[in-house]
A and B are shown apart, each in its own frame.
Chain A
Amino acid sequence: MTHALDIFTVVAVSAGSFFFMAGTVGLLRFPDTMTRLHALTKVDNLGLGLIVVGLLPRAEGLLGALKLLSVWIFVQLSGAIVSQLIAHVARREGRQT
């Protein structure tokens, strides 16, 4: 049973790290601000989510697991709001030039 949980952790954390790599590549390679925003706000939150899910079996008790989940949910909420605000400014700057 612990073996299965270890494999689950390895798979989820590896996938999360992969998505962080994808987010960085997108940030550096995509052609304009909107696509870079797209790469960053979606892919990185997915990477963080996978890492959190992978760490859940190793959390210290129920409270530790809940704290991991709450960190993730908080990042989700703030990331969603901030990405909308950044897109608003980026669109106005684009209209100006």
Chain B
Amino acid sequence: MAMANFLFGAAAFVLVMLALGLLSILRGPSDVDRMLSAQLIGTGGVAVLLLLAVVTDMPSIADVALMLALLAPFAAVAFLRDASSSQIKSPNASDRT
């Protein structure tokens, strides 16, 4: 029981750290920094979900963590496509707009 409380506290702590990381969406300064914060949510969210899966004894939450781990890189790739099409074309990305 004490163990469940500890793991729950760890999940809450990581969640607070994620919330603090969201501050960098407000501060920027560049869009890349905002994307980094979204990346932080991806990694940290997986950690929180895995902790909760063990605490609440619901192994299916680990599948939710797997889904989040799958979707986080998609957000980054969408951002990078947008960034690379609005910039000067680099030599190795010339035919991908």
Contacts and interface: CB of A to CB of B under 8 A. Distances in A.
Which among B17, B76, B83 has the highest number of chain A CB atoms within 10 Å?
Answer: B17
B36 A27 contact: yes
Interface in B35-91: 35-37, 39-40, 42-44, 46-47, 50-51, 54, 59, 62-63, 65-66, 69-70, 72-73, 76-77, 80, 83-84, 87-88, 90
B33 A33 contact: yes
Given A45-B43, A86-B32, A86-B76, A59 B54 contact: yes
Category for how many chain A residues contact B: 35 or more
Contacts, number: 143
B59 A13 contact: no
Nearest to A44: B43
Given A27-B37, A60-B59, A64-B59, A96 B65 contact: no
Size bin of chain B's contact surface: 35 or more
Q: What secondary structure prevails in chain B residues at the interface with A?
A: helix
Nearest to B23: A28
A27 B40 contact: yes
Nearest to A5: B3
A67 B83 CA distance: 34
14 contacts: A17-B17, A20-B47, A24-B21, A40-B40, A40-B43, A44-B43, A45-B43, A47-B14, A48-B43, A51-B51, A70-B66, A82-B39, A86-B76, A90-B32
B13 A17 contact: yes
Given A24-B21, A85-B77, 9 more contacts: A17-B13, A20-B44, A23-B40, A40-B39, A58-B54, A74-B66, A82-B76, A89-B84, A93-B30
